[in-house]
Amino acid sequence: MPNIKHLEDICTQVRRDILRQVHKVNSGHPGGSLGCTEFFVALYNEIMDRKDTFEMDGIGEDLFFLSNGHISPVCYSVLARAGYFPVEELNTFRLINSRLQGHPTTHEGLPGIRIASGSLGQGMSVALGAAQAKKLNNDDKLVYTLHGDGELQEGQNWEAIMYAAGKKVDNLIATIDLNGQQIDGATDDVLPMGSIKGKFEAFGWTVLEIEEGNNLEAILDGMAKAKAETGKGKPVCVLLKTIMGNGVDFMMHTHAWHGKAPNDEQLAIGLEQNPETLGDY
């Protein structure tokens, strides 16, 4: 059984890392990062079968692709705390000459990143290629992805969603961060997308829902069920219902903190709500 207390401690520390990264450079995307903290921590610490060292080809291990690259603060924190690079490097987030670019990239050789993302809608296609390469290599490990819900407005996703089912790419688990928010407001106001579940099912995917996407046990349970659905001829989609800004009360349930950093006072409040657990960088 996974040690939930330990995972919660990591989550609390990751939330601190997110706030401190964006505060230092007064830029970046805390809202979606906080909303996906539990998912990222569960993924890298429990769900994925991954190696401790980083090789680009990822042969013989599960892979993860972040399609909504703007939530780089959570990604960098979790990668660092999983041992891919020194946690002190989080100090360089968005600074010149850093490997921690505003959006994740392979360009500076940051361990843990296999593709650049940021321009939205491209990650699922890349994941499909990686998943099909695994099949060619007789590699039975899985490919995981994360996408924003607003990101699904990009048409390339639907090319990929159609292809994945049509070509039976069943070693892929695509998770949608269903927080209902995007830059300009609620997704229902910006562009109502109807039933995302219904759309994925109509395209031929197996769809699972995690109602409490900020609850570690719910995530672990839901992702275990998703994993059990792989290898059955259909791609698997997880609809992860999260709260944007989760864990910092004034950032929750709003799109206001999508791409805005806290000031000194707001940072202090956020950190107070998330006391140090593993040690700040």
- Residue 211 beta carbon to another protein: minimum distance, rounded to whole angstroms: 30
Candidates 43, 48, 160, 243: give the one binding another protein (CB under 8 A). Answer: 160
Burial classification of residue 185, based on how many CB atoms lie within 10 Å of its CB (0-12 exposed, 13-18 middle, 19 or more buried): middle
The answer to the question of residue 271 lying near another protein (CB under 8 A) is no
| Minimum separation from the CB atom of position 149 to another protein (A) | 19
97's CB contacts (< 8 A; 6+ apart) are none
- CA distances (Å), origin 203, targets 51, 143, 188: 33, 19, 22
**Binding window for another protein (CB under 8 A); candidates: 14-22, 99-107, 182-190, 223-231:** 99-107
Tell me the helices (H) and strands (E) count for the chain, helix number first: 10, 7
DSSP-assigned letter for residue 2: -
Query: Which residue in the set 31, 32, 58, 222 belongs to the binding site for another protein (CB under 8 A)?
Result: 58
Region of 92-100, 129-137, 216-224, 271-279 interacting with another protein (CB under 8 A): 129-137
CA distance readout (Å), 251 to 16, 38, 65, 211:
14, 16, 26, 20
- Looking at residue 95, its amino acid is L
Task: List the one residue from 130, 173, 174, 208 that touches another protein (CB under 8 A).
Answer: 130
Token reading at 182 = 């995007």
3-class DSSP assignment, residue 240: strand
Does residue 126 interact with another protein by CB under 8 A?
A: yes
Among 6, 26, 49, 162, contact with another protein (rule: CB under 8 A): 162
102-121 residues near another protein, rule: CB under 8 A:
105-107, 114-119
- Which one of the spans 135-143, 194-202, 256-264, 271-279 is the region binding another protein (CB under 8 A)? 135-143
If one asks whether residue 155 binds another protein (CB under 8 A), the answer comes out as yes
Give 18 or 63: the residue with its C-beta nearer to another protein.
63
Residue 210 pairs with which residues in a beta bridge?
A: 240
x-marked contacts with another protein along 165-184 as a string, rule CB under 8 A: -xx-----------------
What's the first-to-final CA gap in the chain, in angstroms? 29
Contact 250, 33 (CB under 8 A): no
Interface positions with another protein (CB under 8 A): 56-59, 63, 65, 105-107, 114-119, 122-134, 136-137, 139, 155-156, 159-160, 162-163, 166-167
